[in-house]
Structure 1
Amino acid sequence: MIIAVASDHGGFKLKLAVKKHLIDRGYQIVDLGTTSEESVDYPIYGKVCAEAVAAGKAPLGMVFCGTGIGISIAANKIHGIRCANCTSVEMAHLAKQHNNANMLAMGGRITDEELAIKITDEWLDTEFESGGRHSRRVDMLNEM
């Protein structure tokens, strides 16, 4: 499976750590930038990653900024994207199980590497609980 990743400068180090973990798990990675800790604008990277997922270039995407907030807002501006900014394993589980989140955001300034790996694994390993109220609600989101 292919996963698109992107970050601004505040999430750059965390992106690299998670990217290595994903490669170790056997995923193919499309890294859409940034390439350093030099200051850049997070909306650019949230948008480019979300567009890759929305276009089907990768079924899933992960974005990183200082808190995960700004870059998740940017990603969610793209039609078809359900980007969840997760700060706990439980949030990652529910984001996938209930919301079928196709993107995950995390903050490099607030999430340590060990927790980020646990959040990532939970999000990847959780299945969407399709049918019923969850599918109906995701369909509603997709129609917006």
Structure 2
Amino acid sequence: MRVHLGSDHAGLELKDHLTAWLTDQGHEVVDHGPFVFDALDDYPVFCLRAAEGVAAEQAEGLDSLGVVIGGSGNGEQIAANKVIGVRCALVWSEETAVLAREHNDANVISVGGRLHSLEDMTRFVEVFLRTPFTGEERHVRRIGQLGDYETTRDLPPLPASALPGYDAGAGSADDAS
């Protein structure tokens, strides 16, 4: 599998570690930078490129995922999610790594390099890469709603239960008095 990496200065140590670890695991790594420590660098420069790489390759049918890394992972997640076709999840545990793949078919994860040990973050990435999407209808439907909104900007229709006057016991909003 090809894995795209991007970070800022706070994630540089983990990114460099992951580059070697992923290669040892048999993955092809695409490192979008940074390549030297610069305390004033801007994470969007690197994280947008990593996310673009994943989106472009997945659009071509290739097996690619991505990891973006910062101090907290928050800004990096926001940046990655600006790329059409990317579903980036902030991961802070093995469980969130599993759920990102199983329920959201996340194709990029973001981790906070200042919040976890190198070993823990490596494990989060390993779990993310090894966990498949379940393909359950409800998850496919929800991801489809997000993709539709991404391209059309049309909001999905509200379910009957969200409409005023809905009474679950009556069966529909039209039956409510």
Q: Is the shorter-chain TM-score for this pair beyond 0.5, marking a shared fold?
A: yes
2:44 matched residue in structure 1: 43
Aligned Cα RMSD in Å? 1.2
SS in 2 for 1:30: strand
2:158 matched residue in structure 1: none
Task: Report the alpha carbon displacement of residue 141 of structure 1 after superposing the two structures with TM.
Answer: 1.6
Task: Report the alpha carbon displacement of residue 24 of structure 1 after superposing the two structures with TM.
Answer: 1.1
The counterpart of 1:101, out of the listed 106, 111, 115, is 106
Query: What TM-score do you get using the length of structure 2 for normalisation?
Result: 0.78
Query: Counterpart amino acid of 1:27?
Result: H
Task: Report the alpha carbon displacement of residue 131 of structure 1 after superposing the two structures with TM.
Answer: 3.0
CA contact (8 A) 1:3 1:61 kept: yes
Aligned 1:125-140 pairs, distance under 5 A: 125-140=130-145
SS in 2 for 1:37: coil
Q: Give the unaligned 5+ runs of structure 2.
A: 151-177
2:57 matched residue in structure 1: 56
SS in 1 for 2:103: helix
Using the alignment, how far apart are the partners of 2:27 and 2:116 within structure 1?
22
The structure having more radius of gyration, on CA atoms, is 2
1:9 matched residue in structure 2: 9
Q: Deviations over 1:45-99 (max 9, x none)?
A: 1111111111117621111111111011000011110011101000000000000
Aligned 1:61-72 pairs, distance under 5 A: 61-72=66-77
Moved over 6 A (4+): none
CA contact (8 A) 1:18 1:116 kept: no
2:168 matched residue in structure 1: none
SS in 1 for 2:20: helix
Q: Deviations over 1:3-24 (max 9, x none)?
A: 1111110100011112221111
CA contact (8 A) 1:96 1:128 kept: yes
Query: Counterpart amino acid of 1:63?
Result: V
1:27 matched residue in structure 2: 27
SS in 2 for 1:56: helix
Using the alignment, how far apart are the partners of 1:113 and 1:43 within structure 2?
23
| Greater relative contact order, per chain length (Cα 8 Å cut-off, separation 6+) | 1
